[in-house]
Structure 1
Amino acid sequence: MGSKVKVLLSSVFKPFAVDDLYSRSDSKIELFHNQITKYQGVFSPRINYNTFGLHIIAKNIESKAVVLDYPSLPRFIEEVKKGYDYVGIGSIVQNFNKVKRMAEEVRRHSPRSKIIIGGFCTMIENIEKMLDVDYVCKGEGISFMRELLGQSPEYKFRQPEIFSYTRELLGVPLSGFDYHPFIAVGLGCPYGCDFCSPSHFFGKRHIKLLKTGKEIFDEIVKLGKRFKTTSFGLGGDDNFLADEARAEELRKIMVESGLQVKLFLFASADLVKKFGAERLVEMGVSTVWIGRESGFAPYPKNKDLDLKALVEELRRVGIKVILSSILLFDFHTKANIWEDIEDHLACSPAFSQFAFYAPLPGTPLYERMKEEGRILFSIPLEDWHIFGKPWYIHPEFSLEEAKAVQDRAYLEDFYRLGPSIVRLIRDEVIGYLNMRQSSNQYLRERAEFYAKDFPLYRAILRGCLYLVRRKEQKEFIKEVISLLEQAIGKTRIWEKISGLGLYGFGRLREFRTRFFSDTIQPKTRISYYNW
């Protein structure tokens, strides 16, 4: 098909996080506020993302394409009426009814358009019989769309502009000021854990979109100039270190160039341990997401590993850890589940996730629980999210008991370990103190790179100190302030005044949340490719 073909790719419509036919108030479209800093209130960073997958596809087909991020339903209909040849809708399982409504609107307002659905919602059993659509794209979408459009399967991957943007921090509006690009480096993970939707969605393959460290480095340089930032996410790839040669090439180029950046990536604990903390920091890694899962679970990636020691090793070079644990494995009882949670808390990660063991369509776990008759199909798909109540029968916990355990785990993390933003600062200061006199020149430069943010951190810590209400949290923040002052000197008067300003913004956000809502809807954006 030639360039005359026009393609519309859209996310599902907003509003999100409201209780209606299509959504639930406890299912926010925010990675941090929904599942990592879930109960941290004003201390939770409010961050939105554009729809990575749709932009990646649009950038890598030859036809004219439009990507519509988070439209309202009327805005989606308005765009559909322009008469596209293909309308693609990307979605997760929980937004099934939104996809259904959107497909109906396409048929009503542009009957000649062919409808494509993609994303994790395509793993729902018999979805092609449940929706009036023409094509179902399961797995990697670029190849699917190029084949559908009659384009060559051979192509050079092109990086779209995908990013996160911070809406609020401590109640301070930041829209338009804090954009962080993500670099699509790959897809999937070869480990194939029984619960992992991304791994099985991509057929337990590790698909490399950027195949060399040099390609990744070039994107870092380009996007750093474009967004005027040194902070990047390496997205899509659920186990970046699975390609050790690519990671090592990136590390060598980083060291040779002297470039200092803050990279976020996903990696399994075994590969993090093998690669080593010092090599990771030389690669520019600032934050790593590690799946702890459970101290009782027999996943090979965590076998014989001391996660507490690993997190501490990473902290010594300023690398923050998002540590993810799973609740409600079949072996969890009311006694040992807290042993598992306490083991997680003992690691004192910068960020924590406590997710339910989730039998989502397309995973071996789903097939097993379905065969055992444990999945509660009477529960709507909108409620099949891992940060509310489970949708399956557990041998020990009722649905309400399960939710109470998850809620308490998050609260214990917040109350006992302190706000994650303070833990982040703690870890960078510890890294600075350990690296500033290192025999490794790159690590000494890394320490000074971290120190550039320390004056701002002093003001943030003061604001946090004024905002927290619990004694143990105040004591923790005072310890971090003392550690920071050990590194760069006493807090200045203007930083204390700035802290009071943050206190005011924070209390105002708490007021709005209490009497109105803490929901922040993502922005609607439209992007054009090949026009």
Structure 2
Amino acid sequence: MTKKLLLSSVFGPFGVDDAFGHKENLMELFHNQVTKAQGIASLRFHHRSFGLYFLAENVRAPVTVLDFPSRNDFERELKRQRYDAVGISFIVPNFLKAKEMARLVRQHQPEAQILLGGHGAAIEGIENLIDCDHVVRGEGIRWLRQYLGEDPHAPIHHPTLISAEHKRLFGIPTPGACGLLVPGVGCVNGCRFCATSHFFGRTYTPFFASGHALFEQLCRMSNELGTQEFFVMDENFLKDKTRAQELLSCMEENHRPFSFAVFSSAETIEAFGVENLARLGVFFLWIGAESKHETYDKNKGRNLQALIRNLRDHGIAVLVSGILFLEHHRPDTISQDIDYLIDLQGVFTQFMMFTPLPGTQLYKQYKRQNRIDFDLPFEQWHGQHLLNFHHPHFTRAQATQWLQEAFQQEFDRNSSSVYRMTETYLRGYETLASLGNRDPWLRHRSHQMLDRAQELRILLPTLRHFAHDELERARINTLEARFDATLGSLDPTSRALQLAAFGIANAHALRCRFRRDLDQPRFSRTRYRWPSPMHRWQQSLESLAAGLRKPSEQPIG
């Protein structure tokens, strides 16, 4: 008999103080970890729980996916449909939510098996902390297929998904869909603090072996979604240089100019080349700078400031990620690292607390040294409020204050990320337009960059009105003059859009004066391979008819 599966993310609400979580754990990546000090100028959007959809797409069994349900939504589903197994995906800070969901499964469907997955499954002894039947660590598609008695080595089918939804700037909905591409999972760099690398065994598992296969997948998703823009969820997509170059060749030969947001490292960027990144259509890049003094092989001996400047010159908005409260950090040295990260002049800067997470080398080391603070509940192990280990030079309260001040200093000195992103895309247009004089492909890339710059240009009056300080206001005025000199004045339609955007932003700012600007991700229920209602009625009638037959009329065999 075919097993029926329920796969679910943990329940909301998020970012509130309740029995299951804290207000600091927002379900918005940038607003929680990157632009959190930038107020109304913070970038706002939500991501789906992508792994659940990959699992559902790659088995033959009937599956229901609940993404960001409420507790009542989850309980209602348990009451309305019987399942053979319930999978719960969670991260460490959502431990209590996963535990409560497992309790609800045992209460309403005691015969169903409970499967725990996601990064929370790395918690030591999780099978004794949460009532469950199986704990799934690492890449879960092959495990789930084997659990269901299916071929674990069958080809992996990539679902068509939107990367981000409910995208807003200043409360203004931002246009355009961005698809999701997952070329593979894991990372071979194996940085000692990286939960993702360790979760996948410090190896890389490709879902696509060649650039040609990636290209075909991109064409299919582009046609379905009506977009050429994709977020590449891969720890170091360009590490396989041959695959990336083959993808670029396919794009150029078939004139399909897809654009990408990617993760990468300094070593990989230098090997691939910044101009090649522009040719590939990279418009956003997340790079781990980590620390000036604690360098990893990926950064060793490289001038990150010059590299980031070059990337921005080519229209690539760089997110610089850094770590605070490393072993060598004292009040003087942590100040040096904060200055170093700010002076890299990224478009975005992420400051994360050094956090030994279960499964990592760092966790094992700190546990041996008895440095982990197990009195701090898992709900606080998210790296944006309290240290989860004993640091010799910072108390919990001091660490929280330093983190807040780092974000504030970055905003004070570099102005809003929206301003920086707008300036970067204009700068990229100027560079690519010059290179495009001798290269038709880069000429087309310059037109794409121009479209990005012109979209954000609409926000300049709003940016100026809500400017953080006089320094940012002066920078915006200079940027507007550059736009006028380079591209001429805006047409009447664009000016009308500027007025509309300004009005929406002011209305949003007024609402935020009276209530907390807290967005909850949208709940969705997706069913895979379930019989249609008509088919279920037919099955019910056939079962009823079979029950009414005389014994001699029962089918044989």
In structure 2, the residue matched to 1:195 is: 193
Does the CA contact (< 8 Å) of 2:172 and 2:501 recur in 1?
Answer: no
Does the CA contact (< 8 Å) of 1:171 and 1:508 recur in 2?
Answer: no
Deviation at 1:503, TM superposition (A): 3.1
Structure 2 matches for 1:319-468, cutoff 5 A? 319-438=316-435, 439-468=438-467
From 279, 283, 293, the counterpart of 2:276:
279
Deviation at 1:469, TM superposition (A): 4.1
In structure 2, the residue matched to 1:250 is: 247
Deviation at 1:114, TM superposition (A): 0.7
Distance of aligned partners of 1:256 and 1:524 in 2 relative to their CA distance in 1, 3 Å threshold? same
Cα deviations by residue, 1:15-64 (Å, 9 ceiling, x for unpaired): 11100121111111111111111111111121111111111111111111
3-state SS of 2:371 partner = coil
Question: What is the alpha-carbon distance in structure 2 between the residues aligned to residue 298 and residue 455 of structure 1?
Answer: 38
From 63, 81, 99, the counterpart of 2:61:
63
* 1:96 and 2:80 matched: no
Question: What is the alpha-carbon distance in structure 2 between the residues aligned to residue 76 and residue 198 of structure 1?
Answer: 27
The AA in structure 2 aligned to 1:90 is S
Q: Which runs of 5 or more residues in structure 2 are unaligned?
A: 531-557
Deviation at 1:494, TM superposition (A): 5.2
Question: What is the alpha-carbon distance in structure 1 between the residues aligned to residue 393 and residue 495 of structure 2?
Answer: 50
Does the CA contact (< 8 Å) of 2:351 and 2:403 recur in 1?
Answer: yes
Does the CA contact (< 8 Å) of 1:463 and 1:501 recur in 2?
Answer: no
In structure 2, the residue matched to 1:160 is: 159
Deviation at 1:497, TM superposition (A): 4.9
In structure 1, the residue matched to 2:498 is: 499
Q: Which has the larger radius of gyration?
A: 2
- Stretch of structure 1 that moved more, 331-340 or 165-174: 165-174
The AA in structure 1 aligned to 2:111 is R
* 1:170 and 2:169 matched: yes
* 1:262 and 2:236 matched: no
Does the CA contact (< 8 Å) of 2:251 and 2:258 recur in 1?
Answer: no
From 235, 238, 248, the counterpart of 2:235:
238
Deviation at 1:451, TM superposition (A): 1.4
Deviation at 1:426, TM superposition (A): 1.0
In structure 2, the residue matched to 1:479 is: 478
3-state SS of 2:183 partner = strand
The AA in structure 2 aligned to 1:245 is T
Deviation at 1:331, TM superposition (A): 0.4
In structure 2, the residue matched to 1:129 is: 128
Distance of aligned partners of 1:469 and 1:292 in 2 relative to their CA distance in 1, 3 Å threshold? closer
Q: What's the % identity of the aligned pairs?
A: 34
Name the TM-score, length of structure 2 as normaliser.
0.91
Does the CA contact (< 8 Å) of 2:46 and 2:167 recur in 1?
Answer: no
Question: What is the alpha-carbon distance in structure 1 between the residues aligned to residue 160 and residue 11 of structure 2?
Answer: 21
The AA in structure 1 aligned to 2:182 is A
Deviation at 1:383, TM superposition (A): 0.8
3-state SS of 1:88 partner = strand
Question: What is the alpha-carbon distance in structure 2 between the residues aligned to residue 22 and residue 56 of structure 1?
Answer: 27
3-state SS of 2:441 partner = helix
Deviation at 1:448, TM superposition (A): 1.3
Distance of aligned partners of 1:411 and 1:497 in 2 relative to their CA distance in 1, 3 Å threshold? farther
The AA in structure 1 aligned to 2:186 is G
In structure 2, the residue matched to 1:182 is: 180
In structure 2, the residue matched to 1:318 is: 315
Does the CA contact (< 8 Å) of 1:432 and 1:448 recur in 2?
Answer: yes
* 1:111 and 2:98 matched: no
3-state SS of 2:189 partner = coil
Deviation at 1:173, TM superposition (A): 5.1
Cα RMSD of the aligned pairs, angstroms, is: 1.6
Question: What is the alpha-carbon distance in structure 2 between the residues aligned to residue 185 and residue 518 of structure 1?
Answer: 35
* 1:212 and 2:210 matched: yes
Deviation at 1:381, TM superposition (A): 0.7
Does the CA contact (< 8 Å) of 2:172 and 2:505 recur in 1?
Answer: no
Does the CA contact (< 8 Å) of 1:55 and 1:161 recur in 2?
Answer: no
Does the CA contact (< 8 Å) of 2:143 and 2:152 recur in 1?
Answer: no
Q: Which runs of 5 or more residues in structure 1 are unaligned?
A: none
Question: What is the alpha-carbon distance in structure 1 between the residues aligned to residue 462 and residue 216 of structure 2?
Answer: 38
* 1:142 and 2:141 matched: yes
In structure 1, the residue matched to 2:552 is: none
- Stretch of structure 1 that moved more, 71-80 or 435-444: 435-444
In structure 2, the residue matched to 1:526 is: 525
Name the TM-score, length of structure 1 as normaliser.
0.96
3-state SS of 1:302 partner = coil
Deviation at 1:382, TM superposition (A): 0.5
